[in-house]
Chains A and B, each alone.
Chain A
Amino acid sequence: MTTTLLDVISWAFLLIGGASVIIGTLGILRLPDVYTRMHAASITDTLGAGMIVAGLAIQGGFSLVSAKLFLIFVFLLFTSPVSTHALAKAALTAGVTPAGTDRKSGKGAEAP
């Protein structure tokens, strides 16, 4: 009985992971400018990867496979913020202005 329970749990994790990957990528497609797209991209890196790795680790059981999966997830967890920060810094120095703000005066778009 426990194997079917574990399978159901891992399928749930995998489905949530797949759904969040698609949601994150949909955010990349639809959001107005680079900075908001970076925000959407991080959903796939953290939640999507986390859920898929958790689902696979449950399938893999308590073994070397799950250890490798955990290492992959820890590495993704550490490096995706670094790369997003580097991307934001590069975009800012290159003068990409966030949508809705007036770069010259630096004011945000005041609420009407």
Chain B
Amino acid sequence: MFGAVAAALLVAMGMAIIRALKGPTVFDRILSVNTFGTKTVLLIAVIGFLQKRPDFLDIALVYALINFITTIAVLKFFEFSHLGTPIGEEEAEDL
């Protein structure tokens, strides 16, 4: 049964990659990479159950954290065209 769910997740990941390649705007790509990351979290959890390895869940949790931070950082970069100015640059507009 876990194999069926893993297969469903892999199919969904393939579709997300298709949207990433096809997406006209850059935000489609960010969105599909974000959902790809969420599906990876689920896939790691399912494979952890498949292989009787409970420690995979920690990897899945850390992956979810990293996926979230990455999405926010990429979005900040695309919105403000920089990730933040070093302290002391007065002319930088406030974020």
Interface positions of A (Cβ within 8 A of B): 10-11, 14-15, 17-19, 21-22, 24-26, 28-29, 34, 37-38, 41, 44-45, 48-49, 52-53, 55-56, 59-60, 64-65, 68-69, 71-72, 75-76, 79-80, 82-83, 86-87, 89-91, 93-94, 96
Contacts and interface: CB of A to CB of B under 8 A. Distances in A.
A25 B78 contact: no
A44 B25 contact: no
8 contacts: A19-B8, A28-B31, A44-B35, A44-B38, A69-B45, A72-B41, A86-B75, A90-B27
A48 B40 CA distance: 13
B32 A28 contact: yes
Contact of B28 (A26, A34, A55, A83): A34
Contact of B71 (A34, A44, A83): A83
B15 A26 contact: yes
Interface in B27-80: 27-28, 30-32, 34-35, 38-39, 41-42, 45-46, 49, 54, 57-58, 60-61, 64-65, 68, 71-72, 75-76, 78-79
Nearest to B35: A41
Given A22-B15, A34-B28, 14 more contacts: A14-B2, A15-B5, A18-B5, A28-B19, A34-B31, A49-B41, A52-B5, A56-B45, A60-B54, A65-B57, A69-B57, A86-B76, A90-B78, A91-B27
Contacts, number: 134
Contacts of A11: 1
